[in-house]
Structure 1
Amino acid sequence: MIRTERTADYEQVYSLHYEAFGKREDESKLVERIRQSDQFVTELSIVADMDGSIAGHILLSKAAIFGHGSTVEVIVLAPLAVQPALQKKGIGSALMQEGLRRTRELGYGLVALIGHPGYYPRFGFEPARRHGLELTQYDVPDDVFMINELIQGSLDGATGELKYPQAFLHV
């Protein structure tokens, strides 16, 4: 069952990210910081619940593109995780599809991410720099910095630099 994350899920979501990302806390702590920030959108923290056990989690939150005197609000995807023993069974895809659907329904036209170029294009993501977007906070190759235009026309005039919020920059 794909549903909105609840406070009661927090501990399991923390453990999920810890396990899925090689027994490190970076992504787990990132989720905690985003939840406490103004960029958190409750409806965009989504879990895959298998009989009370959290099998997967996706978090989409607010960020902005700054350029040429304008600011465009966007959604950034990070992190996305599935329990290691349950990967490659469609859980991540189901979370992605639901996350993108909810994002569009909430009126956000763009989703950006830093991610694997072999995975995300199937969901409509493409290299962001070819659309006039830049990212200087992280040194990543062009094919890893991606954008998805969920609502047609959202990329029009959305040129400049994507800036991840402070929650992402915590060391």
Structure 2
Amino acid sequence: MSKITVSQAADADRTAIFALEQAAFGRRDEAELVERIVWDGDRVLELVAERDGAILGHVLFSRLHVETERARFAAVALAPIAVYPDFQGGGIGSALIEEGHRLLREAGETLSVVLGEPGYYGRFGYTHERARGFDSDYQCEALQAVAWDDEAPPTGRLVYPRAFAGT
């Protein structure tokens, strides 16, 4: 077996990404969310992990905004991340997140937010403590953030892409 490679998703990957998301989550919701985010133009970074030409993993970072009384800051939301069930636990998800973070930092992004398992996302620097100051419909212990710059806002209202509302 050859090595896993991580690269930017291409338009030709849409069908494979949809099938992967559906298989990983056992339903269509996340697959449809990905397509709505892409269709709406809210995709910031989308990566796939491949082996021998087959897509085994996928991650999407979409545009998120933090609104304060004085300004609106650009940030990203990590959601979703998916790996085919037979390949979970082998480092594919970690490789996707780590490469995504590297590319986002290079592009000047300062803040990423995720709603997920603290034990998993904590490995990548996400903490609820960093997200605690945000006003969000999703505010709970699973809401976590990682800041790559001191300029990233610590408080404000999280405004997700409209796809998250299902509209």
1:160 aligns to 2:156 (yes or no): yes
- Give the match for residue 38 of structure 1: 41
Q: For 1:4-23, what aligned pairs fall within 5 Å after superposition?
A: 4-22=8-26
Whichever residue aligns with residue 38 of structure 1, its letter is G
Residue 118 (structure 1) aligns with: 119
TM-superposed deviation, 1:161 = 1.1
Match of 1:27 among 26, 30, 40: 30
Q: Any idea what the Cα deviations from partners look like across 1:38-90, whole Å, max 9, x if unmatched?
A: 3222xx10000111111000000111011122111100000000000000000
- Is the 8 Å Cα contact of residues 134 and 162 (structure 1) preserved in structure 2? yes
Distance 1:40 1:95 in 2: 16
What is the identity, as a one-letter code, of the residue corresponding to 2:25?
A: F
Structure 1: 5+ residue runs without aligned partners?
none
Deviation (angstroms), 1:154: 2.8
| One-letter amino acid of the counterpart of residue 2, structure 1 | V
Aligned length: 162
Q: How does 1:50-129 map to 2 (within 5 A)?
A: 50-127=51-128, 128-129=130-131
**Unaligned 5+ residue runs, structure 2?**
none
Q: CA deviation at 1:2?
A: 0.4
CA distance in 2, matches of 1:158, 1:118: 22
What is the RMSD computed on CA atoms of the aligned residues? 1.3
Identity across the alignment (%): 39
Question: TM-score scaled to structure 1, two decimals?
Answer: 0.90
Question: In proportion to residue count, which structure has more helix?
Answer: 2
After TM superposition, where is structure 1 displaced by more than 4 Å over at least 4 residues in a row?
none
